């Protein structure tokens, strides 16, 4: 029995050179090796008679070797090894490049199994660089469902497959799940599941192994986040008490809260009455009115003589929020500040960094808005009670780790990327979630169309008519500069084309990430003031930009954006009572059948689209879970029933004993799970 913690360099068959290659793949220990799962399985379980081989097939042949020889070619000085093989139906030649040692491994008159691609050379079929294996009790590389692993340079499938198979045969993996869960869910035990997933006897066995390993991933993640939630509930917090004039403040708003906004606000306020820090996610479609709820929560903290902070992913968004907060709260008797890389203001006026830091430290400033600049060590709060994070998934992993310093504060995170229910039950299981699924009154559904090149001119004419009526338009491009390799539209080239060829008489602006913050702010302000009629931009406008007069969103290279991102872009229009439009342009000949693009055309419901995006792209790509340390290798999070059942098991276990004293192996596995999404 091997110790699973054994470093790979200490394992037989590996050694220092191979250990270095394995470490490139994240394989540092025996446990890493055994849990390094294949990305696919190749079905080589059936033999094809040589006479039935077709060009382009990847075939599996059982044949006798008639002769084998190696020689040097005259042209490129390669070493060719050729073997003539036969079965009862005919003969074919196998060819290997620069592998002369094969003449000592493959001998005449012996029977082997050869698996490889069939090609044509000099009017004859041949099998190039086939995998070879003698027939034995259990095949590893042929005659079965063969595992195919992600590789690194100088490491072949055959070498890695052999190493993994060797140690799977020599190791018994311990069971860590409670036996009653295994029985109720009808799961393989851990040892059988891992071994079967690598080397399944057939497709049904692979599916059963996958079921167990997917359950492991979901269940362990749920246990980790629920354990964290319970630990967080033991922390003290500064209470934020309700005040009588909150109702008057809500009545003074220039609009009436929707029913879902009112409900979500009550949930947020209820959090503040509890003796432990709130950890709530406020998710809602673009334009559903999340920010005003955060603003009211921060206002209430100020009324309690406590500080609150709003973190934004971009300076443009922070500036926009600050302007709105000043309109709402400047006359309420407390100080509001903004701190970004390029803007430091107090109550709307520029101040020095030292002055603002001193005001924050003293507690005089009650509301502080900003970007990652607020996470710097020099920023010290006196009595920070509430942190609001806008689009937290857009902060980097290191920045999110810094947020752990806010353990004893109420946390309210806002997201316009709705989270599918399965994700809410796993990765976000430590959060209380409020959903805004109702748009403010007077908003019309945005009309979305997928446009081919034939209708480009008529679409340009339609945009001109909208601008003639006093409206404005966004044009989004995937790149800042041209790229010959990608062959997609760039913002700079599109700006030039629209300015000089299509709309030379209109005022057109250009916005992208390489501009200085002050220049970005200037351009956005001009667009808001209708001094710019068409804004050409990259994805920098994806989050939070609010220009109610804009009614057209034109997206170039739409196929290059994710479904949720396209929906975010679309949400930049339709923010007033005007009918708004979103046009998806693409140079891709397959665009008209692209499932992402068709989904955006079909639905304006962000929650529906989030579920669809999860199916199409997976959780890692969609929600940044891979870069956060979550890596679902097996689970697809498409099985809601399984996720819900595993959540029930997890809740029962955590409620009984969050230290997992009765399950030491389970505890070890849980502690390896990260929690890095908000805090």
| pLDDT of 390 | 87
Helix (H, G, I), strand (E, B) or coil at 283: strand
| 453 and 432 both lie in a single domain | no
**Domain boundary, last residue among 603, 628, 649:** 603
Residues 114 and 2 placed together within one structural domain of the fold? no
Q: Tell me the Cα Rg of the chain.
A: 31
Which of 403, 436, 469 is the endpoint of a domain? 436
**pLDDT confidence of 365, banded at 50, 70, 90?**
very high
With pLDDT > 70 as the criterion, what percentage of the chain qualifies? 92
Domain assignment present for 312 = yes
Tell me, yes or no, whether 31 lies in a domain.
yes
CA torsion, ordered 350, 356, 360, 364, to nearest 10 deg: -60
Q: 19 and 129 in one domain?
A: no
Where is 322: in which H helix or E strand?
helix 315-329
Residue 623: pLDDT band with limits 50, 70, 90: very low
Same domain for 385 and 533? no
Given 549, 584, 603, which residue is the final one in a domain? 603
Tell whether 457 and 509 lie within a shared domain: yes
CA nearest neighbour of 634 among 619, 624, 613: 619
Give percent helix, percent strand, percent coil of the chain, each to the nearest 5: 40, 20, 40
With a pLDDT cut of 90, the percent of the chain lying above it is: 54
Question: What values do phi and psi take at 159, rounded to 5?
Answer: -65, -50
**Range 347-383 burial, b when 16+ CB lie within 10 A, else e:** eeeeeeeeebbebbeeeebbbbbbbbbbbeeebebee
Which whole number is the average pLDDT over 303-330? 90
Q: Is residue 215 part of a domain?
A: no
Instruction: Give the domain CATH number at 342.
Output: 3.40.50.300
**72: in domain:** yes
Whether residue 314 is contained in a domain is answered as: yes
pLDDT, tens digit (0-9, with 9 covering 90-100), for 104-143:
999 999 999 999 999 998 888 999 999 999 988 888 999 8
Q: Do 345 and 409 fall into the same domain?
A: yes
Contact present, 578 and 471 (Cβ < 8 Å): yes
Domain that holds residue 478: 447-603
Q: Would you call 177 helix, strand, or coil by DSSP?
A: coil
Of 35, 10, 23, 27, nearest to 669 (Cα)? Answer: 35
Task: Report whether pLDDT(484) > 50.
Answer: no
Residues 352 and 474 in one domain: no
- Please, what is the angle between helix 315-329 and helix 517-528, to 10°? 60
Q: Is 459 within a domain?
A: yes
The predicted-structure confidence for 524-562, as pLDDT tens digits, reads as follows 889 989 999 999 998 877 555 678 899 999 999 888 888
User: Do residue 255 and residue 381 come from a single domain?
Assistant: yes
Q: What is the pLDDT of residue 326?
A: 93
Mean pLDDT of the chain: 87
| CATH number for the domain that contains residue 134 | 2.40.50.140
Output the pTM of the full model: 0.76
Largest Cα separation within the chain, whole Å, is 96
Alpha carbon of 617 to those of 83, 560, 627: distances in Å? 44, 13, 15
Q: What's the pLDDT at 417? A: 75
Q: Are residues 480 and 579 in the same domain?
A: yes
- Residue 362 is predicted with a pLDDT of 95
The answer as to whether 630 is a domain residue is: no
According to the model, what pLDDT value does residue 679 have?
37
> Is the distance from CB of 582 to CB of 555 less than 8 angstroms?
yes
User: Looking at the structure, do residues 422 and 305 belong to the same domain, yes or no?
Assistant: yes
Tally the domains of the chain.
4
Same domain, 490 and 585: yes
**455 and 430 in one domain?**
no
> What are the tens digits of pLDDT across the range 388-433?
998 765 665 555 556 655 668 899 988 877 777 777 777 777 788 8
Say if 3 falls within a structural domain: yes
């Amino acid at each position: 029995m091997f110790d699973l913690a054994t470093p790979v360099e200490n394992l037989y068959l590996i050694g220092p050179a191979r250990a270095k290659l394995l470490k490139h793949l994240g394989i540092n220990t025996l446990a890493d090796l055994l849990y390094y799962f294949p990305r696919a399985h190749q079905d080589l379980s059936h033999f094809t008679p040589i006479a039935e081989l077709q060009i382009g097939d990847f075939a599996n042949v059982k044949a006798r070797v008639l002769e084998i020889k190696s020689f040097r070619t005259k042209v490129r000085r390669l070493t060719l090894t050729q073997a003539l093989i036969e079965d009862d139906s005919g003969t074919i030649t196998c060819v290997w490049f620069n592998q002369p040692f094969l003449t000592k491994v493959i001998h005449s008159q012996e029977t082997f199994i050869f698996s490889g691609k069939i090609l044509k050379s000099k009017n004859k079929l041949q099998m190039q660089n086939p995998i070879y294996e003698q027939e034995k009790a259990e095949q590893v590389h042929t005659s079965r469902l063969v595992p195919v692993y992600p590789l690194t340079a100088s490491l072949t499938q055959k070498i890695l497959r052999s190493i993994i198979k060797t140690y799977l045969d020599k190791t018994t993996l311990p069971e860590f799940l409670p036996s009653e869960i295994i029985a109720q869910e009808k799961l393989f035990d851990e040892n059988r599941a891992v071994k079967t997933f690598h080397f399944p006897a057939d497709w049904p066995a692979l599916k059963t192994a996958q079921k167990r390993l997917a359950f492991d991933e979901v269940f362990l993640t749920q246990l980790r986040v629920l354990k964290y939630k319970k630990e967080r509930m033991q922390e003290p917090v500064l209470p934020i008490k309700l005040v009588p004039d909150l109702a008057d403040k809500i009545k003074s708003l220039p609009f009436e809260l929707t029913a879902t906004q009112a409900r979500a606000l009550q949930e947020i306020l209820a959090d503040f009455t509890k003796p432990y820090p709130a950890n709530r996610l406020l998710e809602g479609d673009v334009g559903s009115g999340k920010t005003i709820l955060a603003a009211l929560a921060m206002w209430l903290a100020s009324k309690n003589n406590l500080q609150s902070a709003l973190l934004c992913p971009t300076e443009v968004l922070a500036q926009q929020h600050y302007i709105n907060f000043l309109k709402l709260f400047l006359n309420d008797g407390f100080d509001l500040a903004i701190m970004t890389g390029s803007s430091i203001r107090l109550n709307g006026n520029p101040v020095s960094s030292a002055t603002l830091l001193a005001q924050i430290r003293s507690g005089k400033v009650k509301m502080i808005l900003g970007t990652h600049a607020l996470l710097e060590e020099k920023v010290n709060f006196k009595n920070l009670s509430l942190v609001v994070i806008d689009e937290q998934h857009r902060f980097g992993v290191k920045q999110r780790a810094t947020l752990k310093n806010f353990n004893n504060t109420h946390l309210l995170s806002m997201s316009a990327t709705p989270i599918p229910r399965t994700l809410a039950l796993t990765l976000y299981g430590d959060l209380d979630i409020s959903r805004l699924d109702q748009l403010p009154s007077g908003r019309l559904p945005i009309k979305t169309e997928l446009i081919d090149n034939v209708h480009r001119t008529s679409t340009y004419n339609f945009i001109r008519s909208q601008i003639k009526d006093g409206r404005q338009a966004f044009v989004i491009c995937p790149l800042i500069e041209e790229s010959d390799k990608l062959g997609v539209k760039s913002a700079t080239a599109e700006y030039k084309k629209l300015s000089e060829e299509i709309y030379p008489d209109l005022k057109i602006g250009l916005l992208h990430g390489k501009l200085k913050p002050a220049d970005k702010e200037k351009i956005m302000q001009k667009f808001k003031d209708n001094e710019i009629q068409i804004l050409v931009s990259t994805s920098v406008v994806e989050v939070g930009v609010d220009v109610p007069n804009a009614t057209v969103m034109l997206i170039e290279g739409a196929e290059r954006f994710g479904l949720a991102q396209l929906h975010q872009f679309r949400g930049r229009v339709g923010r007033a009572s005007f009918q708004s439009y979103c046009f998806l342009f693409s140079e891709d000949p397959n665009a008209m059948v692209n499932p992402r693009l068709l989904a955006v055309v079909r639905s304006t419901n962000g929650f529906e689209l989030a579920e669809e995006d999860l199916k199409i792209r997976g959780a890692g790509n969609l929600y940044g879970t891979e870069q956060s340390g979550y890596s679902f290798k097996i689970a697809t999070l498409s099985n809601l029933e399984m996720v819900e059942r595993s959540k029930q098991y997890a809740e029962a276990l955590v409620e009984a004993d969050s230290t997992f004293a009765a399950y030491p192996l389970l505890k070890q596995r849980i502690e390896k799970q990260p929690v890095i999404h908000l805090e």
